[in-house]
Structure 1
Amino acid sequence: MIIDTHCHIYNSEMENAKEIIKEAQKNDICLILNGTDPKSNKEILELSSKYDNVYGALGYFYTLADEISDEEIDLLDSQLNNDKIIAVGEIGLDYYHTKENKDSQKELFEKMLDLAEKHKLPVIVHSRKASQDTYDILKNHNAVGSLHSYQGSAEMAREFVKLGFYIGIGGTITYKNSKKIRKAVNQVGISHILIETDSPYLPPEDKRGENNTPLNLKYIIEELAEELDIKEEKIIEITTENAKKLFKV
């Protein structure tokens, strides 16, 4: 089994979501679908109840920081009481797209972490151009989880690992300008890495211009094997065990 620890395979993102899920199932790929808003969270609950190879992470993304209501927080709180929901995510900070609402982004992130602590769930964290603030907030919470599609420095990756986090590696490691990611991978080692696709986004180099799917995990596995000089079978074995340990799947 291979575990795609971060993807967005539901109808509001992909019209052929059910076909993609079935194809992954045929190829022994387990999926962790990540929600970002009330609509996607609802879709994930429905899909995870229907397919054995689908688990869910529910959360509210930074894009909702200025508009989320207390009622929606309460709704998410109740939705997390589900055996197929194994994490709170996708949550976090993004200063690349906007720096104007840093305070409200942080406030929402804190609320999501509080829910994770309440439900004793790991978190799946988005952090773009916000590594220090992400770290400062996480170190003040009793949280473990994954740094999704990691783009920070190797030095910061080591610090996140010390907090109990894994580094999520996706298709961007296959890009020609991925030196920073490769350095982080070498610094933390395979014992602290998870693999993901972020489908339908961030396809590997050979699939640029196409919708990404979990079947493209093979390109990430190949790249990690070459970079770390480890056999592909071992990459699959260790990253799968990492995911099982973190998410209890």
Structure 2
Amino acid sequence: MIIDTHCHIYASEMENADQIITEAAENDITVILNGTDPLSNEEVLEFSRRHENAYAALGYFHSFADSITDEDISRLDRQLESDKVVAVGEIGLDYYHGKDNKDKQIELFEKMLGLAQKHGLPVIVHSRKSIQDTFDTLKKFDVAGSMHSYQGSAQMAQEFIKMGFYMGVGGPVTHTNNKKVRNMVKSVGIGNILLETDSPYLPPEEKRGEENTSMNLKYITEKIALELDITEDDVIRITTENARKLFGI
């Protein structure tokens, strides 16, 4: 089995979501579907119940920091009790387009981390141009998890690992100009890595311009194996063990 620990394969993102998840199952791929808002969280729950090889990660994304209500938080609190839920995610901080609502983002992030701690769930964290605030906020809570599509330094990656986090590695590791991710992979080693696609986003170099799916994990495993000088079977086996340990799958 191979585990895609981060993807957005549901109706509001992909018209052929059912077909893609079924194809993944036929190829022994398990998927963790990540919600980002009230609508996608409902969809993630629905798809995870419909497909044996699909699990749910539920959360509120930074984009909704100005609109999420107390009622939304209460709804998520209840949804996290579902048997198919294995994480709180996708959550986190993003200052790429500016920091105007930085405080609101951090406030929402802290609420998400509080729910994860309450339910004993790991977290799947998005951090873009906000790595220090992400780190400082995570330190306030007793949570482990995945740093989704990690783009920070290898040195900072080691600090997250000390806190119980794995590095999510997807399509960017194959991108010709992304030496930073490949150097990070070499620094942390396969024991600290999770496979992910972020489907339908971030396709590997070989599929640029196309809709990304979990079937493209093969390009990611090939590249990681090449960079670490290990076999693709070892990449699959160890990252699957890592995901099982973290998410209890």
Shift of 1:97: 2.4
Matched, 1:150 2:156: no
Q: Which runs of 5+ in 1 are unaligned?
A: none
The code of the aligned residue for 1:71 comes to: E
Quote the residue 2:168 is aligned against. Answer: 168
Quote the residue 1:105 is aligned against. Answer: 105
CA distance in 1, matches of 2:88, 2:68: 16
CA deviations 1:16-49 (Å, max 9, x no partner) are 0000001001000000000000000000111111
Give the SS at the match of 1:36: coil
Matched, 1:66 2:97: no
Over the residues paired in the alignment, what is the CA RMSD in angstroms?
0.5
CA distance in 2, matches of 1:230, 1:53: 27
Quote the residue 1:10 is aligned against. Answer: 10
CA distance in 1, matches of 2:211, 2:93: 25
Matched, 1:245 2:248: no
Shift of 1:91: 0.1
CA distance in 2, matches of 1:60, 1:32: 16
Matched, 1:89 2:89: yes
Superposed structure 1 runs of 4+ greater than 3 Å apart = none
TM-score of the pair, normalised by structure 1: 0.99
Shift of 1:119: 0.3
Quote the residue 1:141 is aligned against. Answer: 141
- Of all paired residues, the percent bearing the same amino acid is 67
Q: Which runs of 5+ in 2 are unaligned?
A: none
Quote the residue 2:186 is aligned against. Answer: 186
Shift of 1:187: 1.2
Shift of 1:177: 1.4
CA distance in 1, matches of 2:69, 2:181: 36
CA distance in 2, matches of 1:166, 1:116: 16
Shift of 1:178: 1.2
Give the SS at the match of 1:92: strand
CA distance in 1, matches of 2:153, 2:177: 14
Write the mapping of 1:207-218 to structure 2, written as runs, cut at 5 A: 207-218=207-218
Shift of 1:50: 1.0
Shift of 1:98: 2.9
CA distance in 1, matches of 2:98, 2:243: 31
Matched, 1:126 2:126: yes
Quote the residue 1:78 is aligned against. Answer: 78
CA deviations 1:136-192 (Å, max 9, x no partner) are 011111010000001001111010000000000000000011111111111111000
CA distance in 1, matches of 2:130, 2:137: 11
Single out whichever of 57-66 and 182-191 deviates more from structure 2. Answer: 182-191
The code of the aligned residue for 1:98 comes to: G
The count of residues paired between Structure 1 and Structure 2 equals 249
